[in-house]
Chain A
């Protein structure tokens, strides 16, 4: 082997090994740089005067209702920075989105993997992937301009933009996630399980419901966890269709504002280094932490299930 070839080989090996680190390094940097801007909340006395963890989660104003007591008004003369209205908004939208997407996504996955003819499957899967390809700003636009009007006409909502409307649009975006992962899990269940069930006299649906679905339960659960992670972090749909009002309320018919939408709406006008700026980065860190945990859990469940299914097939 000539020297040039050997050097080139070693060089490229080095290049590839370095790029192997890229993902790890950037995950670390993302955490580092969102967290870095959060630090003043814990250390800087000037910032802490306006915003600190106690003000975020504990402090409340005077007032008869929870809406008056927990307020997010970071730019008023006396800044009020309770995170409860925003956390509640995030949870409401996520709840509606998951309540829509989980049952329908799993049902569609069961139909595709257990009952649809192969031809049909070849069409259904790419089409649902196409739904995943709708940009979230387009989904947000649809919810804001079209869906909200329809829903208000049918149900007579007081507010056009509310948790139902935003959550439903969010649900549309979550369906492909639930569907894809559940479908993978259901298809991975070994044929022998089904045949054993048929041999005992079970019908098609009984087999799918009492044998295949429980066997794929970890994957289905993982799909819910990953959909939750996506729902918590989704920005554009909720920014556009949520009504953009940080109101502390348990009602699904009130307008709402999520963590992500708050960052998106307020970061543009904030003074770099101010308490408000740090508070927004605090929300970002919170989002990062929540999604990191839910993703890790989801991936772990999937990997474990894959190993088990491979073992069972052997």
Chain B
């Protein structure tokens, strides 16, 4: 009997930890929603900041974030999907260990070269997968350093040297384009992993049927594989976008601006950003109490944006998963 009681008690304790996590989420969201919703008015959404960021709205930050995310998506999604297609459709399905073993035992057999290339291709896939996993773990501030060192100082400066009159700087400074490229790199792993998972759900029979009808591999991918994994790819894209939309560290030195009187009109322009605006308002405000409603409003808009994207992604995914299980 005592054993039973201890059992019950411990399980309740475990359940309590779930409750604590949920409570944290609820408290954060409720706090921001209650204080934030009050600040969000039509003026707040549609006007630019005024009086040294202590009045007005956040329209330029919303526009800047949207432009950044759009540009990032254009770079990250095709690249991520292509990488996933390569990993799943073009590399041996049997994995590195088996491919290598097959090559080892094939001594003296015909077609040994082919088995060797197959094993090498499996090796490359293994290395790529671990590179993707590592890319996902690189700290976001290091992406910022990389964006500064590679995109701006290296690529941008060299474009300037080749195309601009001496002394003029157009590409070699923080801009929408370089910030988007940096963010795209950061979201790439999310897109790749989700797409590969989606490709895995496409039954092998479909591919074989298509190939048997005389379609080439590319035609099979384009007409059969990609269409039937579209919702999974969409999920990956959305989850990646939502992660990218909330990241601030990578854009600190690659193009985000404290305040701009104009909207970005070109990819070489700097931009305002919701997340960066939150950072500025909460750490560098001249009058903390006066900016508090604006701050809460900005956080609310940012959180709503990322949650909506996230929720859409999660819902599409769980729908797809339950359809496959059936």
**Which residues on A are within 8 Å of B, measured CB to CB?**
1, 5-6, 8-9, 12-13, 15-17, 19-24, 26-27, 29-30, 33-34, 36-37, 103-104, 107-108, 110-112, 115-116, 122, 124, 126-131, 133-142, 144-146, 172, 175, 179, 203-206, 209, 226, 229-230, 232-236, 239-240, 260, 263-264, 267-268, 272, 280-281, 284, 287-288, 291-292, 294-296, 299
Contact = CB atoms under 8 A, between A and B. Distances in A.
B283 A240 contact: yes
Interface stretch (B49-57, B102-110, B148-156): B148-156
A26 B185 contact: yes
Contact of B4 (A142, A203, A288): A203
Interface string B131-166: 111111111111111101110011000000000000
B247 A1 contact: no
A26 B135 CA distance: 8
A121 to B, nearest CB: 10
A255 to B, nearest CB: 13
Contacts of B66: none
Given A110-B14, A230-B137, A15 B150 contact: no
12 contacts: A33-B149, A108-B14, A128-B25, A172-B28, A226-B137, A233-B139, A233-B140, A235-B141, A236-B249, A263-B145, A264-B249, A280-B145
Nearest to A263: B141
B92 interface: no
Contacts, number: 265
A103 B299 CA distance: 30
Given A130-B307, A172-B24, A137 B127 contact: no
Given A16-B86, A130-B310, A131-B24, A23 B128 contact: yes
A29 to B, nearest CB: 6
Contact of B133 (A136, A267, A272, A299): A299
Interface of B: 3-4, 6-7, 10-11, 13-18, 20-22, 24-25, 28, 31-32, 79, 82-83, 85-87, 89-91, 124-125, 127-128, 130-146, 148-150, 153-154, 185, 188-189, 192, 214, 216-219, 221, 242-243, 245-249, 252-253, 275-276, 278-279, 282-283, 292, 295, 299, 302-303, 306-307, 310-311, 314, 318
Contacts of A272: 153
A115 B11 contact: yes
Contacts of A133: 242-243, 246, 306-307, 310
Contacts of B132: 23
Contact of A115 (B14, B127, B217): B14
Task: Please classify the interface of chain B as helix (H, G, I), strand (E, B), loop, or mixed, using the class held by over half of its residues.
Answer: helix
B139 A8 contact: no
A146 to B, nearest CB: 6
Given A23-B132, A133-B242, A203-B3, A291 B148 contact: no
A40 B15 CA distance: 54
A34 B142 contact: yes
A144 to B, nearest CB: 6
A19 B310 contact: no
B29 to A, nearest CB: 8
Contacts of B192: 23
A104 B13 CA distance: 10
